[in-house]
Structure 1
Amino acid sequence: MSGRTRSLDRGGMDAGAQAITGQLGRTIQRLRKAYNLSLSELSEQSGVAKSIISQIERNETNPTLATVWRLSQALDVSIDRFMAATDDEPFVEHLTRGDTPILVSEDGKCRLTITGWIKTVEWLQWFDFVAEPGGELVSDGHQRGSVECLSVLSGELQVECGDIIETARAGETLRYRCDRRHIIRNLGSEHAHATMVCLLKAAVLD
């Protein structure tokens, strides 16, 4: 989310890419075993070093496109089908508390935990939002046409967007244009908790 925030922890931002690399590694290993090939044999047939293949299968490196092409040729599968196979593989990504980036408002009273996936960051972002009493998050505008949705889980939050000010309580959602300066405030006496989803470059605004 753009705006006046500072980052506490930017670790884990490449987790989505790592997950995809892991899928690729599992696909290579599955195909290699299906052809009953050892690491040495696949290395000989593909021209890719045995150590590199081993690292790819263990999700310890991010291979170049040239490397993926050589492996796909050795395993007798097109690169398109190769990459499609990695997308079809099921996966479960587990981010620990330390791996999850957190942004803090200028006043130190609002915390945005980035729970969204790095692969969607250019068009879809979502956050876990917590605001202490009196907390205020001031954000600059996103791309024109962007929309933000704030679903309050507990407490009460106020949103100011242009000349419009609205308040939502637990169980309610505020949806507003975020392509201009907008402010979220907790004017209550208790902590407020919400889920925030930002749809960037929205095509239609009713």
Structure 2
Amino acid sequence: MGIETKERGGRELESGAQIVSGQLGKTIQRLRKAYNLSLSELAEQSGVAKSIISQIERNETNPTLATIWRLSQALDISIERVLSSGEEEPFIDKTSRSDTPILVSEDGKLRLAIIGWIKTVEWLQWYEIQAEPGGELDSEGHQRGSIESLSVTSGEFEVEVGDIIQRAKAGDTLRYRCDRRHIVRCVGDQPGSALMVCILKAAVME
């Protein structure tokens, strides 16, 4: 999208102010904090100056579409969703399978589809897990006080938190503190699937 508009002389790129809602700054800041990125880190990943990102988050500048595109790429979200507005209007939001971000575990045996809504990512995140036998997701702790819930839909999983290990089969749900290192494993000899929801500390703040 950003590349195509450059070929038309850049006029469209400068029209970002005409279509960006006042929610843009909040959206960028919410995503950055959800991924635990500093302004400097997001600047490095996106190629957008730290000072510009700071001004965008405070709604003190009208960024071009090229800038929004670079930020959306760094934050793994489509530019259309970054630019969306009308929070109080009725809507049905759809994300196709091909547009759903996928994370792959280090062993390559577990895939984590990010199916949560971007507007809640700062305090509520949810994922779809597809795993081969033996696949595991080894995660560092989230914000202090955060809770994770794993609902198994097929196969068998186990969760390890500290010295505690608990198993769950299809139809079972495990809930556990995730503000410390925690490991989710697909056990047994069959592939497994599960839905994982993470309730971050921000959900109970204020």
TM interval, shorter chain, is: 0.5 to 0.7
Conservation of the 8 A alpha-carbon contact between 1:137 and 1:184: yes
1:17 maps to amino acid: V
**CA distance in 2 between partners of 1:15 and 1:117 (Å):** 14
What amino acid does structure 1 have at the position aligned with 2:108?
A: G
In the aligned structure 1, how far is the partner of 2:80 from the partner of 2:199? 21
Correspondences of 1:55-70 after superposition (within 5 Å): none
| Cα deviation code 1:85-143 (max 9, x no counterpart) | x3221111221222110000000000000000111111100000111001111000001
- Preserved CA contact (<8 Å) 1:14 1:118: no
Alignment match, 1:42: none
Kindly indicate whether structure 1 or structure 2 has the higher relative contact order, using CA contacts under 8 Å at least 6 residues apart.
1
Cα separation, partners in 2 of 1:98 and 1:12, compared to 1, 3 Å = farther
Residue 198 in structure 1 maps to residue 177 in structure 2: no
Residue 164 of structure 1 aligns with an amino acid whose one-letter code is I
User: Matched residues in 2 for 1:174 and 1:15: separation?
Assistant: 35
SS in 2 for 1:122: coil
> After the TM superposition, which residues 37-116 of structure 1 pair with which residues of structure 2 at under 5 Å, given as runs?
86-116=86-116
Match of 2:179 in 1: 179
Return the offset for 1:18. 3.6
Q: Is 2:177 aligned against 1:189? A: no
CA deviation map 1:179-205 (0-9, x unaligned): 00000111211111000000001649x
Structure-1-length-normalised TM-score = 0.60
Kindly state the Cα deviation for residue 10 of structure 1 after the two structures are TM-superposed. 6.8
- Once residues 14 and 144 of structure 1 are traced to their aligned partners in structure 2, the CA distance between those partners, rounded to angstroms, is 31
TM-score, normalised via structure 2 length: 0.60
Return the index of the structure with the highest Cα Rg: 1
1:55 alignment counterpart: none
Which residue of structure 1 aligns with residue 150 of structure 2?
150
Which residue of 2 is the match for residue 50 of structure 1?
none
2:62 corresponds to:
none
Task: For structure 1, list consecutive stretches of 5 or more residues without a partner in the other structure.
Answer: 3-8, 21-85
- State the Cα deviation string for residues 32-52 of structure 1 (Å, max 9, x = none): xxxxxxxxxxxxxxxxxxxxx
Three-state SS of the structure 1 residue aligned to 2:119 is helix
Runs of 4+ aligned residues of structure 1 deviating over 2 Å after TM superposition are 9-20
Check 1:191–1:146 CA distance in 2 against 1; reply closer, same or farther (3 A cut): same
Q: Which residue of 2 aligns with 1:160?
A: 160
With over 3 angstroms needed to count, the CA separation of the structure-2 counterparts of 1:11 and 1:99, relative to structure 1, is farther
SS at the partner of 1:186?
A: strand
- Distance in 2 (CA, whole Å) between partners of 1:143 and 1:11 is 21
CA distance in 2, matches of 1:111, 1:161: 20
1:139 aligns to 2:139 (yes or no): yes
Does the CA-based 8 Å contact 1:149-1:196 persist in structure 2?
yes
AA in 2 matched with 1:191: P
Local SS of the residue matching 1:87: coil
Unaligned runs of 5+ in 2: 1-33, 36-73
- Work out the number of aligned pairs and report it: 133
Q: Aligned equivalents of 2:176 and 2:168: distance in 1?
A: 12
Maintained 8 Å contact 1:136/1:183 = yes
Give 1:17's aligned residue.
82
